Amino acid sequence: MTSADVKQGGRFADEQVFNAGDCSGKNVSPELSWSGAPKETKSFAVSVYDPDAPTGGGFWHWWVANIPASATSLPKGAGGAAGAGLPAGSLQVRNDFNTVGYGGPCPPEGKPHHYRITVYALDVDKLDVGANASAAVVGSKVRAHTLASATLTGMRGR
């Protein structure tokens, strides 16, 4: 997995930061690309997760499921609420900000947080979830059908 917008171990740009509460970014999802998926791949899912969030269970910033197996990238800005830049058939669910689509980094002041961007190659064409599914439910179903995954970790602090 690679990104023109977030480098491994690098800092998320202001453009990718959430735009609400104490954060004033543009909330633009980064461009993502992947290759080398198993030949048995029937679809992909993508997540952005903050394991450092002070919630006791991390924080889900984005889940996209049902990405067609023919896809090898998501363009910058694909994670808008309408999902206009996503491949046909893709499904975004609510993040832990309780909004649909990408919710960029917005850590509390202090130590920078790690943000794990992961693409999952799945053995099913579509996950049996709807747009109102929780991030935890999607994560459980994704893990039950994962053939392989790749992760890119970016950082952001305030």
DSSP for 109-129 reads: SSSPEEEEEEEEEESSSS-S-
Examine the pLDDT at 18 and tell me if it is beyond 90.
Answer: yes
Q: What structural domains and CATH numbers belong to the chain?
A: 14-156 (3.90.280.10)
What is the pTM (predicted TM-score) of this model? 0.96
Q: Rounded to 5, what percent of the chain is helix, strand, coil?
A: 10, 35, 60
Examine the pLDDT at 113 and tell me if it is beyond 90.
Answer: yes
Q: For the chain, what is the mean pLDDT?
A: 96
**Kind plus residue range of the DSSP H or E element containing 46:** strand 43-50
**Percent of the chain with pLDDT strictly greater than 70:** 100
**Kind plus residue range of the DSSP H or E element containing 23:** strand 23-24
Residues 6+ apart with CB under 8 A from 68: 43, 44, 87, 88, 89, 90
